[in-house]
Amino acid sequence: MKHYTSINDIDNIHTWIEEAKALKENPLQGIELGKNKTLGLLFFNSSLRTRLSTQKAALNLGMNPIVMNVSGDAWGIEFGDGTVMNGSTAEHIKEAAAVISQYCDIIAVRAFPSLTDRALDESEYVLESFKKFASVPVISMESATGHPLQGLTDAITIAEHAKVSKPKVVLSWAPHVKALPHAVANSFTQAMRKMDVEFVIANPEGYNLNPVITGDTPIYHNQEDAFKDADFVYTKNWSSYEDYGLVDNIDPEWMITKEKIGEAKFMHCLPVRRNLVVEDAVLDSDSSLVIQQANNRTFAAQLVLKKILENL
Ligand code: CP
């Protein structure tokens, strides 16, 4: 594997989950693998978990991580081809990616979508430009349309906590006050469709995800129907895909409550807004797996780094 920018880069999710669990058992087993190798982490957007867990993963492999908040600290990067750079951008991605490739053996990038121009967002121009102009492997730390480190994490967490051989997993939309991306929901959907689970999605009318990603996954517009016999309820808000980036529904009836999820385990990628997305009674109970999920971010990232390092 050269790059890791999509759940589709996983050849066998079952094998990957077992490998990640083995890394978790003995996190320093590959401490020599990344010796004298540098991981560059480039953030165009905020992060807590991705930023820390990916550095931790690199350190567990003996790598040297270096971090840059690109939006705040670097020169404004131009991505357009042939642009007359007489505006706010000062450096072209062609030079920036080539230069960073001399300092780093692997580059990890976080770049969120605009949520105003669907075609531009779906072109994944930031991630694709790094892949095109960098001479080293590229990892997505969440792009416009996917969050594959999170999706792998979630698959590992479900495998660890499943009590039956084919659990029912529900991805449920929940209300939020801001327009949020589809990336986490997309990668979770892609991961679940590779797993041996009964997978369904619950969201209001007008909030169906990209049908190319959901495929034949059953979509409910009634949470109660979707949650029946659920083993896991994975919750995330996303803005409308059909009316791209629109937020015209913050219906509190879609908030996750203890009563609604019953015996199911609750999952969320974090950060989460309490008592808007999910009530305190869920997060503060044994039903919640959010802290265990966040812990698994390290081992998902470590597995991805390990596979890339083994291929350098
Ligand atoms: N889940 C996740 O990606 O968290 P951060 O945005 O804090 O990195």
Q: Is 48 annotated as a binding residue?
A: yes
Residue 102 clears pLDDT 90, i.e. is over it: yes
pLDDT of amino acid 72:
87
Ligand 1 mean position, distance from CA 84 (Å):
35
Ligand 1 mean position, distance from CA 51 (Å):
8
Name the strand (E) or helix (H) holding 297: helix 290-310
pLDDT of amino acid 198:
98
User: What does the block give as tokens for 94?
Assistant: 């062609």
Q: Which residue's C-alpha comes closest to atom 1 of ligand 1?
A: 269
Q: Is 270 annotated as a binding residue?
A: yes
Name the strand (E) or helix (H) holding 235: strand 232-236
- What mean pLDDT comes out for the span 48-57? 98
Nearest to 239, CA basis, from 172, 182, 292? 182
Q: Chain-wide mean pLDDT for the chain?
A: 98
pLDDT tier for residue 241 given thresholds of 50, 70 and 90: very high
Residue 12 clears pLDDT 90, i.e. is over it: yes
pLDDT of amino acid 1:
85
pLDDT of amino acid 284:
98
Per DSSP, 130 falls in state H
Q: Does ligand 1 have an atom closer than 6 angstroms to the CB of 50?
A: yes
Handedness of CA 46, 113, 57, 97 (dihedral sign): negative
Looking at the chain, the whole-number percentage of residues with pLDDT higher than 90 is: 99
At residue 266, the 3 state secondary structure works out as strand
Q: pLDDT tens, 125-176? A: 999 999 999 999 999 999 999 999 999 999 999 999 999 999 999 999 999 9
Residue 55 clears pLDDT 90, i.e. is over it: yes
Q: Which residue has the tokens 């978790």?
A: 24
Torsions phi, psi for 99 (to 5 deg): -65, -50
In a mutational test of the pocket of ligand 1, which residue from 42, 44, 45, 50 has the highest number of ligand atoms less than 8 Å from its CB? 50
pLDDT of amino acid 19:
98
Residue 308 clears pLDDT 90, i.e. is over it: yes
Q: Does ligand 1 have an atom closer than 6 angstroms to the CB of 53?
A: no
Task: Tell me how far apart the alpha carbons of residues 262 and 1 are, in angstroms, rounded to a whole number.
Answer: 41
Q: Is 287 annotated as a binding residue?
A: no
Q: pLDDT tens, 66-91? A: 999 999 899 999 999 999 999 999 99
- Strands, sheet with 106-110, edge to edge from the N-terminal-most edge strand: 64-69, 38-43, 106-110, 138-140
The crossing angle, in degrees rounded to 10, of helices 148-161 and 49-60 is 80
Q: Does ligand 1 have an atom closer than 6 angstroms to the CB of 55?
A: no
CB contact at 8 A, 118 and 26:
no
Q: Which residue's C-alpha comes closest to atom 4 of ligand 1?
A: 49
Question: Which domains does the chain possess?
Answer: 7-146+295-309 (3.40.50.1370), 148-293 (3.40.50.1370)
Nearest to 85, CA basis, from 96, 76, 74, 97? 76
Q: pLDDT tens, 178-214? A: 999 999 999 999 999 999 999 999 999 999 999 999 9
Residue 159 falls in which region: left (phi positive, over 0), alpha (psi -120 to 50) or beta: alpha
pLDDT of amino acid 298:
98
Nearest to 37, CA basis, from 64, 56, 58, 55? 64
Q: Does ligand 1 have an atom closer than 6 angstroms to the CB of 49?
A: yes
- What mean pLDDT comes out for the span 55-70? 98
Supply the DSSP string of 46-88, one letter for each residue: --SHHHHHHHHHHHHTT-EEEEEEHHHHSPPEE-STT----SS
